[in-house]
Every structure is written in C-alpha cells, then in structure tokens.
Amino acid sequence: MTGAHRTLHSMFKLIAMLAGLWAFAPGQASAQNAYPPTVSGRPASESAALQSHVYFTPWDDAEGAIMRAIRSAKVQVLVQAYSFTSGAIAGELINARKRGVDVRVTADQEQTERIATSRIPDLARAGIPVWIETRYQSAHNKTMVIDAGQALPIVITGSYNWTVAAQRRNAENVLILRGAAELAQAYKANWERHRGDALPYVSR
C-alpha cells in the first residue's frame, strides 16, 4: 500500500468513526444547541493517542480551542488562510514565534488586499513569513498543521475562517485532530505545495 493510499485509508476510517459518534435519536437534542460542544473520539487507525474534537459556532468556543492548540505548539505551525481578521488568533501566532516556534502562513490574495482589518500585515510585521496565493480564484483552505512529524501532531480544519465573524456571527465548524500522524504529514505536504506556487508577501 502506498503512502497516499495509507493516508486515504486512515481518513476513511476516521470519517467512519466520526459518523458513528454523531448517531443520535431525533428529538434528543434541543433546537437551540443541537450538538454537544466537543467530541473526543477513540482511535480510528494507527495511533492509540488519536483524539478528535469538533466545534460548531456560534455556540461553541472554537476560537479558544484554536488558540489553545497554537499555545501547545513545540516546533512548527503552518497556516492556510482565506480571510484572517481575528486579532486573538494572530496574537497567539505571534506569541508562538516569539517563543521560537517556526510559524509560516499562506493567504488568499483578494481577501488580504481587500479587507482593511486583515491581520496578515500584523503577522508579517512580527517577522512571520507570509506567502500570498495568486494562482487560484480563491485560496479557500482554512487549515493549521501543528508539529507535523512530532509525537503529537495537530490538524485543524473545517469551514471556519480565522475571523471574528466566524466565531460570533457565522454558522461554522472546526475539527481538531490530535495524534493523526499520517494526516498531519499529508496536510503539511499540501501546505508546502501551495507555498511553492505562492509569492512572498510585501508589507503594506
């Protein structure tokens, strides 16, 4: 089995696990808060340490969970951003860089240039390397890969942009996976592929 096939196999098993976790009878949850704030999953594949946590905004504190994950970084944080206006998340990335973590960011060109409250300039001024994606109509990935290749890698993905609106006004989802080593390597490889097509950000 190739590395790509192993990764896909692990992903399918993980999806099956999550589907099983969310099985519940109609009417057991209220319309106000139809889902529990977090779910911790049992191992789905190769690692006994695999954990999954899911957050749904505006009910759950997804921003806080993302910030805690960044604080746990030991070696590296790779970020893919579409829209980025959250000062809290930007601040955690800047703090991570200050404590010696290798923080790198790719960002969508149109969103970075159009939105006056974008935090991309703040990250660049803090010394975080930023690349702007110009190849695509929308660089719509919203991911973070933390400590890929280390003992407890983290992958953050979902519909959630790194924005104030994503937490306070939008209906979004965030999935945080800990210990999924092959998945983290796949997301890191995809980040590197996008970085290779992007242009270095020029501070404004």
| CA-closest candidate to residue 69, choices 53, 85, 48 | 53
Backbone dihedral angles phi then psi of residue 53, each to the nearest 5 degrees: -130, 135
Active site residue 98: no
The CA angle 85-90-93, to the nearest 5 degrees, is: 155
Active site residue 147: yes
* Residue in 60, 108, 142, 188 annotated catalytic: 142
Active site residue 140: yes
The CA angle 97-103-109, to the nearest 5 degrees, is: 125
User: If you write DSSP's letter for every residue of 48-62 in order, what string do you get?
Assistant: TT-EEEEEEETTS-H
What CA–CA distance (Å, rounded) separates 179 from 176? 10
What CA–CA distance (Å, rounded) separates 13 from 140? 25
- Residue 81's CB is within 10 A of a number of other CB atoms, namely 30
CA distances, 115 to each of 5, 31, 82, 111, 128 (Å) = 39, 34, 11, 6, 19
* Residue in 9, 13, 74, 140 annotated catalytic: 140
* Residue in 60, 147, 188, 194 annotated catalytic: 147
H helix or E strand, kind and range, residue 175 = strand 172-178
Q: Which residues are catalytic?
A: 140, 142, 147
